[in-house]
Structure 1
Amino acid sequence: MTRKNLPKYVYEDRGYLRFIRRSRGQSAMINEDLGTPEFWDHYNRLIKGRDPIVVKRNFEALILSYFENDAYKKLKPRTQADYRKYISHIREIWGEKDPQKIETHHIYELHRANAERWRQANYLVQVMVVLMNHARLIGFLKKEHGNPARGIPLFKQQSEGWEPWPDDVRDEFEKVATSRARLVYELCLGTGQRIGDVLKIRWSHIKGGAYDFTQGKTDKPLWIPLTDRLEDFLETVEKKGLTVITDKDGRPVSYRTVAEEMRKVKAKMEHHDAANYVTHGLRKNATIELYQSGCDDEMVRAVTGHSGVEMLKKYGGMVRQRELATRAQDARNQFEQNKKKT
């Protein structure tokens, strides 16, 4: 829905004009050509509230209402963009349908139809939960109907997530990477953070050998001491701008720019699987190294900022289990030895 240079309360969408005045609950089509006397006559009648109020109960109206809701406006820009992507798909297939006529089996079929892309399929269901909950709030669904999108079994992740980079891939990458790609690599590995947060690191965030920031995804404030390796590497980096990672003129760079540069470096590598390892996998490398160093779950979370144990299980994988089991059995052996001495 766009405004462009249209009169107040008039919106353009897919080639037609619509008058929407939410404070009065008005929603009416304007079929007259923009700027004609007939258009202005109709527009003035709508402004004065003389046209009948018509609000269709369909997904088109539901989606429009949701985008104007505070719950959506408070989402982070990245999340808003993701929601819009999947909501646009729902809008295409069900735009004119009454939400009240959508039942659980319809959403289940939508989910199964996208089975080949399990992440997208699960996200569609999650977005439908949000939309149908909003439908209840604005009276499009009756309370007794419940939320038909809830309870649909999501596809299980088909692996343990992004693969950590093996040593041979890391060794070659370090040798052939561009200076900026290497900087991204070292920051992701050293801090254990998501690439989005790494790109926002400012020199002012690094004080006293530590990185002080707030995670973008979780809004969680973290203070993380730099590893010796990362601290030594940063001493070799020229400070061109406010952020640590910049373009040649010292300006911050976008995720897309960095992602493309990382891909190009891996495409030139001799390792035949190099392209399969994504930058986010370095967060998993960091998590595994923390467990291998003897850290427990709380210590790992203090560095990576993971929200719970389930995420740590995904990122730590079998290494986490082995390290924790080893520590547990060592403690048990020590207990037995102490018993014998008494």
Structure 2
Amino acid sequence: MPLPSGVFRTVKPNKTYWYFQKRRGQPDAGPIVKLPEFGTPEFWSEIARLTGEQRAPSNTFKNLIKDYRTRLEKKGLSAGTLKTYDSALNPIREMWGELDPAETTVAGIMEMQDSFSDRPSMGNMVLIQLRALMKLAVQKGWRKDNPAREIDKFEEDPDGAQPLSAEAWAALTSDAAPDDLKRFAILGRATGQRISDIIRMTPAGREQEGLNCRIKKLGDKQHWCILSQAEAETIDGWKQFKGAAYVMQDSGRRHNTNSMRDVWNDFAATEAGSALKGFTPHDLRATKVCDERISGKSHQRIAAIVGMSVEMVMKYSRHIDQKAAARGTGTERE
């Protein structure tokens, strides 16, 4: 929002001071009035009193979200990641769009979070975005503290993705499974990547004993996935054109995330695929983690192999770790 005529500032080494002077620079200029801290509700209230102008406040969640969203785009995040952020930002904009972030309280944020108590994952996503928005508000001088930091996340299902059962894996790799689903499953278990990354893998990515891919959620960051000899032989045996995706639809078109999920779900609904009931494509990711953990690798090494955080590796492998501890069997030193 443009400042009215007569508003000016003085910049000191550690502080910026704002003032107002009516008819500044004119022979009949009025007295200089020190203004409250810039950007606060008191600042705009005093501006309105001195100038007689009732101006629409710019310090709203709607404008804060707009600024925050622009900053996210400049980081080069993928469209899918931005869409995930938007799913949490949109309800904040809808509920609090015209409110001043300076007026937000711990109680208010808890009330916002509680409105998603039936969807704890979404409630936590909203809280994460509110923490980021409040941090930006502090940086912009709109408020002095971040009340969202005082609030705990909802407890979520601690298991998350789960490793596939032997029966589910057998179904996925059986002759009854569609060829594109079988390839998807083999690539998923071999690399531990997400659907969006698996469906983009091509023979052009094969390098030495591994396969290059790009992790969409990390802004298309390149990642090299090591393959076992058996996995490499299976994948190379598909004889796919170098630039074509390994996983293609029957029509010859590339899959998208939704169409790949549909193939999985359609097969799971058949008698031959009934062992997949209760499992999702994302469980291939947990299966890869558990495979590596069973082979004796540390959480840190698995994180490097798959390209995920150590915390997520520990989350996916927790049951295997508990059983290993109970049996007294060991893995690499952490």
State the Cα deviation string for residues 249-306 of structure 1 (Å, max 9, x = none). 6543211111111111111135656232011111111111112222233332232222
Structure 2 residues not aligned, in runs of 5+: 5-52
By how many angstroms is 1:55 displaced?
4.4
Matched with 1:231 is 232
By how many angstroms is 1:25 displaced?
7.6
1:326 maps to a residue whose letter is T
Q: CA RMSD in A?
A: 2.8
Matched with 2:266 is 264
TM-score (norm 2): 0.74
By how many angstroms is 1:205 displaced?
0.9
1:170 maps to a residue whose letter is W
1:152 maps to a residue whose letter is I
Matched with 1:190 is 190
By how many angstroms is 1:53 displaced?
7.1
Q: Distance in 1 between matches of 2:181 and 2:3?
A: 53
Structure 1 residues not aligned, in runs of 5+: 1-21, 27-50, 332-342
Number of positions where the alignment pairs a residue of Structure 1 with one of Structure 2 = 279
Aligned sequence identity (%): 23
Q: Distance in 2 between matches of 1:134 and 1:234?
A: 47
Indicate yes or no: 2:169 matched with 1:170.
Answer: yes
Cα pair 1:242 1:250 within 8 Å, conserved: no
TM-score (norm 1): 0.72
Q: Distance in 2 between matches of 1:90 and 1:206?
A: 44
Q: Distance in 1 between matches of 2:125 and 2:152?
A: 12
SS of the residue corresponding to residue 223 of structure 1 reads strand
SS of the residue corresponding to residue 224 of structure 1 reads strand
Q: 1:273 to 1:101 in 2, by over 3 A?
A: farther
Map 1:134-149 to 2 at 5 A.
134-139=136-141, 141-143=142-144, 146-149=145-148
Map 1:25-64 to 2 at 5 A.
54-64=56-66
**Deviation >6 Å, runs of 4+:** none
Q: Distance in 1 between matches of 2:91 and 2:246?
A: 38
Cα pair 2:205 2:212 within 8 Å, conserved: yes
Cα pair 2:195 2:282 within 8 Å, conserved: yes
By how many angstroms is 1:157 displaced?
2.5
SS of the residue corresponding to residue 212 of structure 1 reads strand
Matched with 1:154 is 153
1:225 maps to a residue whose letter is I
Deviates more, 1:313-322 or 1:173-182: 313-322
Matched with 1:306 is 308
State the Cα deviation string for residues 29-64 of structure 1 (Å, max 9, x = none). xxxxxxxxxxxxxxxxxxxxxx99744322222223
Matched with 1:316 is 317
